[in-house]
Structure 1
């Protein structure tokens, strides 16, 4: 694992990808909330999840986004589902893509998991639309 004071190439690439997908505000909050206890975990996910998996060249960010949402929904990881639904603003995955991913969850992981994930996605998407309306009203 890398010392954040001396970041590895994989850490640097991971941080750039993490910021591109989740946005600077989210990553800045996660970084600011890191403590000596969980800093090694933050480094691990930056290198492994973001620097390896999300930075790979075989799938697009849109494809990774859909698969991630489906997996998180199947696992019942509500906060992570919402976070990755918000990230679709940066990955190019559409509402239709999210719906299709959750339809797969219904068949392969169960209707209750998909039903709950649809609820979370609907709430998150409505919040995103409201934020966009507010931003447009400010212009």
Structure 2
């Protein structure tokens, strides 16, 4: 994956996490860190964001679609909603989300996709995509 030292993975991870999820989300998440979950939060920042999401082998858009499909298949609706919101920064469009969820229907089951489509519709209705407003 990477030859970077572990400390730089945490720094890279926080930079990537903020770029994808936004400062407000990351600030809320990190404000609640306690001694109980400090190591867990470091693990997420280094592993998920500093190693996986910071890797440039595939694009953030592609990574976003994979993540959405996996979270939908596993029924992790809170994380799914968060990553659907993040598509505004990864470049994944509603059409990409639809295609990822169609794959979920075929490979993980219609009930999982049904719930995921419900989550996606709610999240996408929350606020318009800024790119769509510019096009009008």
Provide the TM-score with structure 2 as the length reference. 0.90
In the other structure, the counterpart of 1:66 is: 65
In the other structure, the counterpart of 2:91 is: 92
Does 2:30 correspond to 1:37? no
Structure 1 residue runs of 5 or longer lacking an equivalent are 1-6
Superposition CA RMSD, Å: 1.4
Structure 2 residue runs of 5 or longer lacking an equivalent are 1-5
1:13-72 superposed Cα distances (whole Å, 9 cap, x missing partner): 000000000000000001001111001000000000000000111100000000000000
In the other structure, the counterpart of 1:46 is: 45
Does 2:55 correspond to 1:56? yes
> Aligned pairs, how many?
126
SS at match of 2:57: coil
Tell whether the 8 Å contact from 1:102 to 1:118 is kept in structure 2 after alignment: yes
Runs of 4+ in 1 over 2 A off after TM superposition: none
Tell whether the 8 Å contact from 1:86 to 1:128 is kept in structure 2 after alignment: no
In the other structure, the counterpart of 1:3 is: none
SS at match of 1:36: coil
